[in-house]
Structure 1
Amino acid sequence: MQEAAAALKKLLLEKSVRTGTFTLASGKQSDLYIDCRVTALDPFGAALIGDLGWHAVRSKIHSEHLKIDAIGGMTLGADPISLSIGMASARQHPDEALQVFTVRKEPKGYGAGKQIEGNFKSGDTIVVVDDVITTGGSTLKAIDAIEREGGKVAFAIVLVDREEGGREAIEARGIHVIPLFTRTTLLG
């Protein structure tokens, strides 16, 4: 796993990390912008995320004797990460394969009016996903939608924790966060 982590870190630094002056989704100004979608939508990045993410998720499942049904989070950032981890689970351990879903920012205005699409049902135990955590706002919004629809969030996995209070905000809700990278481990 160390080789995969080093390869994913290299890809994130090459494709996703930018320095300068940026306005983040939270409205905060930052000297760092991390667009994980560029790495997560790269076929090599997706494969690495799937393997590393599934290893982290499976370790947590086994250490705490959890039964997880599905994995997903707020569109668009969580989508490729959730699918990559779900695919790795099916490839590596078919008997433990995770179903994948996505959470819309708002409920659909037509049809069934669903906010959660894909392989999710009330009563499922969920791993919630995000690409980057800054304040935790989008992860918490996904958690609220999942709980409103009857899902139980077991824990969260995130590609990068910017170490700006988001992890603590999510954990204050009683939901443990597993980051594959933090700002510190990514940038040194």
Structure 2
Amino acid sequence: MTTNTRLPGGLATRLAETALVAAPFHLADGARLDSYFDEYRLAADPELLRDTATALAALVPDDAQLLAGIELGGIPLVVALSAATGLPAVFLRRRPKGYGSRRQIEGAPFAGRRTVLVDDVVRSGAQLLAMARILRMAGAPVRDALCVLERPLGGRALLAEHRVTLHALLTEADLPGARRGDPA
């Protein structure tokens, strides 16, 4: 678990002020939230995105060879993180593209390369687990995942059951102004 006192330049406060939104939000499973973390506001702020990527770079395991961003929230993060670390990146679609290349994984060669998943927010961990499975079936070993914000909804435990270690830049408790127990 990370605490905001370990982040440079009040990064947790800046992230909360920019991306923590007090407004209704509907999850894919039909649940409704009163507030949420808006990764697009983070990605739209070049200075904040750069600083977030720099902080995330410290969480990348030393033996990582490739970064994998999950559409759509993980894509700007993985591009910025790739620039910050010098590691190549791939981009993961939830489903294979229905035209053109028809690929689900785009970008750098990935087979046999130790890959780290990158996403914005982790709640249940189901999306990261699904993407880890896709990469593993394609020949890319995945043992780690990074996120900007971890919500305490079982994601870390689910991933650990499948041999994926979650490294979170922030947890719910690290966000100034976040209501405890609000699964943003």
In the superposition, the TM-score normalised over structure 2's length comes to 0.85
> What is the alpha-carbon distance in structure 2 between the residues aligned to residue 89 and residue 169 of structure 1?
27
CA distance in structure 2 between the aligned counterparts of 1:76 and 1:42, rounded to whole angstroms: 16
Q: Which runs of 5+ in 1 are unaligned?
A: 91-97
* SS of the residue 2:128 aligns to: helix
Please give the per-residue CA displacement for 1:120-162, whole angstroms capped at 9, x wherever unaligned.
3211110101100111122122112211211101201100001
Aligned residue in 2 for 1:145? 134
The amino acid that maps onto 1:76 is L
* Compared CA separation, residues 172 and 144, structure 1 to 2 (3 A): same
Deviation at 1:16, TM superposition (A): 1.1
Structure (1 or 2) with the greater helix fraction: 1
Q: Post-superposition, which runs of at least 4 consecutive aligned residues in structure 1 deviate over 6 A?
A: none
RMSD across aligned positions (CA): 2.0
Aligned counterpart, 1:72: 68
Residues 11, 39 of structure 1: 8 Å contact kept: no
Contact 1:40–1:49 at 8 Å: present in 2 too?
no
Q: Which residues of structure 2 form unaligned runs of 5+?
A: 179-184
**Could you state the TM-score of these two structures normalised by the residue count of structure 1?**
0.83
Task: Name whichever of 29-38 and 146-155 sits farther off.
Answer: 29-38
Q: Which amino acid aligns with 2:40?
A: R
State whether residues 130 and 159 of structure 1, in contact with CA within 8 Å, keep that contact through their aligned partners in structure 2.
yes
By relative contact order (CA 8 Å, sep 6+), the higher-ranking structure is 2
Aligned partner of 2:104 among 79, 100, 115: 115
Match of 1:94 in 2: none
Equivalent residue number for residue 34 of structure 1: 37
Give the Cα separation in 2 of the matches to 1:81 and 1:185: 19
Which one of the candidate residues 24, 27, 30 is aligned to 1:24? 27
Identity %: 28
Check whether the contact 2:65–2:114 (CA below 8 A) recurs between aligned residues.
yes
Task: Count residues in correspondence.
Answer: 174
Give 1:162's aligned residue.
151
Residue 88 (structure 1) aligns with? 84
